[in-house]
């Protein structure tokens, strides 16, 4: 184990007292990324020789913060100019280190998936609306929808009403 890792372990005890102050996610754009070596770790990516390695990267952000983060890949999963969230988990004599991730979109999911992520969320919402529409129909509850000749049409129209109610609640 290299001296730096041993020092980090010793410093971890000091950091435990003010951990809550450090664990705050901040959004910023990456202005510089530098590979900063690798080390063996049980959570690393398995290499052809059987060793498990994590790769260390130094990130510089638009807000002036410089920190290190570890990844399982030999190249950073992020690019210069990309907006990310970072979380400083340690701040010791060797500098700051922590986690760099895709920004949270407010739903608890990183935005990296783009429209795929939105489609996934909409799929969940539609599934809930259809399920609730079926439950209401089975319970004999009518939402005032007329001119539906089949159960499929009733479920569809009830699900639309439920989705409209959900959208209105979200916007409040």
Residue 110 in this model has a pLDDT that exceeds 60? no
Instruction: Tokens for 20, please give them.
Output: 């809550």
Residue 29 in this model has a pLDDT that exceeds 80? yes
Residue 102 in this model has a pLDDT that exceeds 80? yes
**Quick one: 171 exposed, middle or buried, by C-beta within 10 A (0-12, 13-18, 19+)?**
exposed
Query: Distance (Å, rounded) from C-alpha 65 to C-alpha 58?
Result: 10
pTM for this model (two decimals): 0.52
Q: How confident is the model at residue 170 (pLDDT cuts 50, 70, 90)?
A: confident
pLDDT of residue 70: 94
Residue 164 in this model has a pLDDT that exceeds 60? yes
Which residue segments constitute the domains of the chain, with CATH numbers given?
3-101 (2.40.50), 113-171 (no CATH)
Note whether 78 and 57 are within 8 A (CB): no
Note whether 45 and 53 are within 8 A (CB): yes
pLDDT of residue 21: 44
Query: Distance (Å, rounded) from C-alpha 144 to C-alpha 27?
Result: 46
* φ, ψ at 73 (rounded to 5°): -105, 155
In this prediction, residues 71-94 reach a mean pLDDT of 91
| Secondary structure element (H or E) that encloses residue 42, with its range | strand 25-46
Percentage of the chain exceeding pLDDT 90? 33
């Amino acid at each position: 184990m290299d001296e730096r890792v041993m020092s980090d372990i010793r410093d971890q005890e000091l950091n435990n007292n003010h951990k809550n102050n450090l664990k705050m996610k901040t959004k910023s754009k990456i202005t510089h990324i530098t590979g900063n070596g690798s080390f063996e770790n049980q959570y690393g990516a398995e290499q052809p020789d059987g060793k498990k390695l994590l790769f260390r990267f130094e990130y510089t952000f638009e807000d002036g913060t410089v920190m290190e983060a570890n990844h399982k890949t030999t190249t950073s999963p992020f690019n210069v100019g990309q907006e990310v969230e970072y979380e400083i988990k340690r701040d010791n004599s060797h500098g700051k280190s922590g986690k760099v991730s895709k920004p949270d979109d407010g739903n608890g999911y990183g935005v990296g998936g783009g429209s795929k992520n939105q489609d996934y969320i909409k799929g969940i919402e539609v599934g809930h609306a259809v399920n609730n529409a079926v439950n209401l129909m089975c319970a004999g509850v009518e939402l005032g929808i007329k001119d539906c000749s089949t159960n499929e049409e009733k479920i569809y129209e009830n699900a639309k009403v439920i989705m409209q109610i959900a959208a209105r609640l979200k916007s409040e």
